[in-house]
Amino acid sequence: MERFWEKLIEKIENIDKKKIRQYIGELLWERGLLENIFNSLKEGILVLDSNNNPVYLNKRLNEMMNIDINDLLGSFSYYEKRLAHLILETDNEFHDEEVEINEPYHRLLKVSKLALLSQGSKSIGAIVIVDDITQERIAQEERASGERFATLSQLSAGVAHEVGNPLNALQIHLELLKKEIKKLSLKSQEKLMHFVKIIREEIDRLDKIVTQFLEASRPSPLKLEETRVENIMKELITLLSPEFRKKRIKIKEDYSPYIPSVLLDRNQTRQAFLNILKNSIEAMPKSGHIYIYTFLKGDRVEIKIKDEGIGISEDKLHRIFEPYFTTKKEGSGLGLMITYRIVKAHGGDIKVKSEVKKGTEITVILPLKRGKVPLPARLLTGKYSRFSSKNSSRLYKKN
């Protein structure tokens, strides 16, 4: 382009108007071609002159961020002050700098700044490349979690099996012990039966943990049938009604009449929602409400369960689907992991929002139709509500 202008200036006195129009036409065509190329890129592009004044920004950058070309500093500062500093106040080149932004929602950007040089290696400006890598990072972390979980499952399923055998032996011998105790005096029986009761309770607790663990590490194939989601929820509300009454919890339901039957494994889906509802009950020790809503969103069903419990802090929220992570004193940390696996096995998704002292909202998203349903995965662990909370779960987590 520089050589083009030099030649044009040298020969302009000898060039007729027709030739000038031809040169200008070629120049405009080249400019249009470059703009089309830049606008077709998936990365945001910003071109700066030597004084950090904007020369050009492409369509993708404006889609990522609402940029005012007359106020770049203010525009970038709105999203993240560090981003503004990197782009506009750093003279040196930098490559693949990662920046988190939280407006209008949480995202991860990869930013690079490269110098533009003239033929004489003189700096004439810079080009800034901005790429939204949020989904890429989520996919990477899901794959990493999947690999870790697959290894853990193989190892721990064997351990759980080995633990189960002595538990069975303990139960058998406990029954034998009870028979022997009955041969003693009533006074001795009363004291010893108290100890037997404690042992029985602890064995049952261990057996429950082992059973849950085996469910988590060895998921069953899906047995799909046409099922109405609201029927599952109503069954669970009836099942849990004694606990609701005991804790003075009121249920508010609103099921969309437009949702058809969904192809689900009824038992596994029931287990997934049961785990969520039990967590809500345990999060409300002093009464409250649980809100259950269903929505039809295009080709997906959304089931939203919100409680008024103690909530989960933001630094712990992204870990709730990890195995053995729990915020409860006596929790196994497997319930929500099993829920997550079941939802993912159905080709669905699950989202969580929570605010300390205000409650937690879990949204389960299930497809109405699908070509293929993935088998229950060994590889997976871990804003449209009438009762939305301020803090949404982080899109990705740092290890």
Are 321 and 337 a contacting pair, CB within 8 Å?
A: yes
**Under CATH, which architecture does the 224-367 domain have?**
2-Layer Sandwich (3.30)
Side-chain-side CA neighbours of 340 within 13 Å: the count stands at 23
In angstroms, the CA 15 to CA 78 distance is 50
pLDDT at 250 over 90: yes
Can you tell me the mean pLDDT for 292-297? 93
Q: How does residue 85 score in pLDDT terms, banded at 50, 70 and 90?
A: confident
Torsion of the alpha carbons at 383, 387, 391 and 394, rounded to the nearest 10: -50
The burial class, CB within 10 Å (0-12 / 13-18 / 19+), for 370 is middle
Find the mean pLDDT for residues 311-322. Answer: 79
- pLDDT level of residue 395 (50, 70, 90 thresholds): very low
Q: What is the pLDDT of residue 372?
A: 45
Most confident of 64-73, 166-175, 240-249: 240-249
Q: Considering only residues 79 and 105, tell me which one the structure prediction assigns the higher pLDDT.
A: 79
Query: How many residues would you count in the chain?
Result: 399
Least confident of 110-114, 150-154, 169-173, 190-194: 150-154
Counts for the chain of helices (H) and strands (E), in that order: 11, 12
At position 51, the amino acid (one-letter code) is N
Closest listed residue to residue 323, CA positions, set 141, 138, 144, 145: 145
Which of helix, strand or coil describes residue 333?
coil
d(CA 391, CA 320): 15
pLDDT at 281 over 80: yes
- 355-387 pLDDT, tens digit per residue, is 888 899 999 999 986 544 443 333 333 333 333
Q: Judge whether 273 and 232 are in contact, CB under 8 Å.
A: yes
The pLDDT of 322-344, averaged and rounded, is 71
**338/293 Cα distance (integer angstroms):** 22
Q: Which ranges of the chain does DSSP label H, i.e. alpha helix?
A: 2-11, 17-39, 59-64, 72-79, 81-84, 134-181, 186-217, 229-246, 266-282, 314-317, 335-345
- Name the maximum alpha-carbon separation found in the chain: 127
| Local structure of 371: helix, strand or coil | coil
CA distances to 78, 209, 238, 338 from 161, rounded to whole Å, are 55, 12, 34, 18
- Token duo for residue 64: 């990522």
CATH architecture of 2-133: 2-Layer Sandwich (3.30)
DSSP 384: -
Cα distances from 333 to residues 219, 279, 326, 348, in angstroms, run 16, 11, 5, 21
CA dist., res. 88 & res. 129, Å (int): 13
What Cα–Cα distance (Å) separates residue 80 from each residue in 54, 68, 90, 339? 19, 15, 15, 35
| Average pLDDT of the chain, as a whole number | 78
Dihedrals φ, ψ of 92, to 5°?
-75, 155
The residue ranges of every structural domain in the chain are 2-133, 137-217, 224-367
